[in-house]
A and B are shown apart, each in its own frame.
Chain A
Amino acid sequence: MTALDSLYQQVILDHAKARHGDRALPDADAEHFERNPTCGDEITVRVRLEPGSDRIAEVAWQGDGCSISMASASVLTDMAVGRTVPELLALTEEFRTMMRSRGSGEPDEDVLEDLVAFHGVSKFVMRVKCGMLAWVAAEAAAREATAV
């Protein structure tokens, strides 16, 4: 596989086109806006919890950015729904660790599922923020949704 193909895994290219969760969420419990000032990528992630619970019922986002950031937001939507907020925060930490690995180690597919496709991104330091953008926004929105 070329270096470029290891960055743009098919899973990433597919998610970048499919953009799961790219829509409004009027009854969200919380939302958070993140922007990468160096490249202009931006995203607002919205989270709705199941009533009286910290379990995530729905995630949606609206934003504009490169294929890495849009694919990451799409995977976030698939993976966040059904998890509790603490579970999402733990998953985000796992993802962050992998994204900071600079391509080292072997990511745990049982935990990270489709996110393992982003392991190649971690070798491209300039693109790590793209991969994390939606997750950083989701982290903040999820915390706010559960704040009493």
Chain B
Amino acid sequence: MAPNQPLTESEVEAIRRDFPILQQEVNGFPLAYLDSGATSQRPRQVLDAERRFLEHDNAAVHRGAHTLAALSTDAFEEARATVAGFIGAAAPAEVVWTANATDALNLVAYGIANASRGRGGAAAERFRIGPGDEVLVTEAEHHANLVPWQELAALTGATLRWVPVADDGTWTAEDAVALVTDRTKVVAFAHVSNVTGMIAPVSAVVAAAHAHGALVVLDACQSAPHRPLDVQALGVDFAAFSGHKMLGPNGIGVLWGRRELLDALPPFRTGGSMITTVTMEHSEFMPAPERFEAGTQPVSQAVALGEAVRYLQGIGMERVRAHEEHLARLMLDGLAAIPGVRTVGPAAGVPRSGLVSFDVDGVHAHDVSQYLDAQGIAVRSGHHCAQPLHRRLGLVATSRASTYVHTTEQDVDRFLTAVGEIRAYFGATA
């Protein structure tokens, strides 16, 4: 099969057999799990890898001299190398383990805040920001890529600015580039919006940011799991994503950063395992990634995330993308044909990821998801941690269907049929 073709029916069926959670009925119907954008399910390969590690190799990493300590350290570092290869990092040391993407983004924001207070010495001066400087985000950001920057601005006296979105929730390279000036020190945005599915014009924003000496932080939560990600090709400076959204466990996430930046950024969490020399007065920190990995690490989770990455590589990320974009088109076309249903996000024909947020006129998003749940169809409802975006769209909440490697056309058909029944059930068609 060509590397950019959607998965065939038999391939998806084979994948589905790997997911124990999909082999059940929910409320009397086969589970149609359309909420991978919130958290993904784990194939047995990932579950088995974590269990195997815990049953054979588990020990504290990077300390101790016994056999299991060596085995667990090897597994931990091998997982790091696997993730580094998956995202096109220059070296495994550019991959920092975090609890999740939120944690990773906080690590960068608070690292910059610490540099702005003089921590990190001369090497960290490049990160210093203060009054008159600007941090630029977009109005479409997930709270995880907004609130830490609000805090950074409040701590340093810098100004938070944002790229406004259009009526459909999208923004353009021109909108962003117009706001990048010599004052701009950090530009942070999502590679793929968790609400609109919009794919950001990364290279144009990176070019403008770098021309003005600003750092680019990419929230890759909705891209790393669903499409090829090459951080060096994109040219960004930092990228963050979560394991649990890419077939891996909770409690493990990734911050990728360019090596020279990571080695210069002051740590935000300090303690054991991240130091070289400690006296009662002073401590020296290790280089990246260890300088950011204080305390006991989520080792089995990292090992399982490595396995999740291998699982995705086995399918091929170009094919994952093609499969999900195909399903997104089916959902968009199907929803467009249902009276009273409005989708948000890029106009028809514009590339987008495999998630669709929508509003059913006269029916609240919670009632929409409750109705679908009664038929075993799991979708997300609410503001998807993007209140400013919903406010801009004039909606309190939307429902969101999101796909993954195990999603079938039949899942989408069942979803569309059920959405078509909702307004009549709630008496909203009058």
Measured CB to CB, the residues of A under 8 A from B are 2-4, 7-8, 13, 16-17, 38-42, 64-68, 70, 124, 127, 130
Chain B: interface residue total (CB-CB under 8 A):
19
Instruction: List the B side residues contacting A16 at CB < 8 Å.
Output: 426
Q: How many A-B residue pairs have CB under 8 A?
A: 47
Q: How far is the CB of B312 from chain A (nearest CB, A)?
A: 30
The answer on a CB contact under 8 Å between A13 and B397 is: no
Instruction: List the B side residues contacting A127 at CB < 8 Å.
Output: 366, 370
Known: A40-B397, A66-B365, A127-B366; 8 extra A-B contacts, CB below 8 A, are A4-B370, A8-B426, A38-B382, A41-B366, A65-B396, A66-B364, A68-B367, A127-B370
Q: Does B27 contact A (CB under 8 A)?
A: yes
Instruction: List the B side residues contacting A67 at CB < 8 Å.
Output: 363-364, 367, 426
Closest residue on chain B to residue A39 by CB atoms: B382
Q: Looking at B370, B371, B382, B387, which has the most chain A CB atoms within 10 Å of its CB?
A: B370
Q: How far is the CB of B198 from chain A (nearest CB, A)?
A: 22
Instruction: List the B side residues contacting A8 at CB < 8 Å.
Output: 367, 425-426
Instruction: List the B side residues contacting A39 at CB < 8 Å.
Output: 366, 381-382, 397
Interface on chain B toward A: helix, strand, loop, or mixed SS?
mixed
Docked Cα-Cα span, A4 to B422, in Å, equals: 12
The answer on a CB contact under 8 Å between B366 and A4 is: no
Q: Looking at A3, A17, A39, which has the most chain B CB atoms within 10 Å of its CB?
A: A39
Contact digits for B371-405, partner A, Cβ 8 Å, 1 yes 0 no: 10010000001110001001000001100000000
The answer on a CB contact under 8 Å between A4 and B374 is: yes
Docked Cα-Cα span, A13 to B429, in Å, equals: 13
Q: Does B314 contact A (CB under 8 A)?
A: no
Q: How far is the CB of A55 from chain B (nearest CB, A)?
A: 33
Q: Does B349 contact A (CB under 8 A)?
A: no
Docked Cα-Cα span, A64 to B394, in Å, equals: 12
Closest residue on chain B to residue A14 by CB atoms: B427
Closest residue on chain A to residue B363 by CB atoms: A67
Instruction: List the A side residues contacting B365 at CB < 8 Å.
Output: 66
Measured CB to CB, the residues of B under 8 A from A are 27, 363-367, 370-371, 374, 381-383, 387, 390, 396-397, 425-427
Q: How far is the CB of A52 from chain B (nearest CB, A)?
A: 39
Instruction: List the A side residues contacting B427 at CB < 8 Å.
Output: 13, 17
The answer on a CB contact under 8 Å between A40 and B367 is: no
Instruction: List the A side residues contacting B381 at CB < 8 Å.
Output: 39
Instruction: List the B side residues contacting A68 at CB < 8 Å.
Output: 366-367
The answer on a CB contact under 8 Å between B27 and A3 is: yes
Q: A3-B27, A65-B364 are in contact. Are A40 and B387 (CB under 8 A)?
A: yes
Docked Cα-Cα span, A124 to B374, in Å, equals: 11
Docked Cα-Cα span, A99 to B364, in Å, equals: 21
Q: How far is the CB of B210 from chain A (nearest CB, A)?
A: 37
Q: How far is the CB of A126 from chain B (nearest CB, A)?
A: 8
Docked Cα-Cα span, A8 to B364, in Å, equals: 13
15 residue pairs bridging A and B, Cβ less than 8 Å apart? A3-B27, A4-B374, A13-B427, A38-B382, A40-B382, A40-B390, A40-B396, A40-B397, A41-B396, A64-B396, A66-B367, A68-B366, A68-B367, A70-B364, A127-B370
Instruction: List the B side residues contacting A38 at CB < 8 Å.
Output: 382
Q: Looking at A13, A40, A42, which has the most chain B CB atoms within 10 Å of its CB?
A: A40
The answer on a CB contact under 8 Å between A40 and B370 is: no
Docked Cα-Cα span, A42 to B381, in Å, equals: 15
Closest residue on chain B to residue A65 by CB atoms: B364
The answer on a CB contact under 8 Å between B374 and A66 is: no
Q: Identify which of B363, B383, B425, B426 contacts A40 (C-beta below 8 A).
A: B383
The answer on a CB contact under 8 Å between A66 and B366 is: yes
Closest residue on chain A to residue B27 by CB atoms: A3
Instruction: List the A side residues contacting B397 at CB < 8 Å.
Output: 39-40
The answer on a CB contact under 8 Å between A130 and B366 is: yes
Q: A65-B364, A130-B366 are in contact. Are A4 and B383 (CB under 8 A)?
A: no
Q: How far is the CB of A51 from chain B (nearest CB, A)?
A: 37
Instruction: List the A side residues contacting B363 at CB < 8 Å.
Output: 67
Docked Cα-Cα span, A42 to B390, in Å, equals: 15
Q: How far is the CB of B383 from chain A (nearest CB, A)?
A: 5
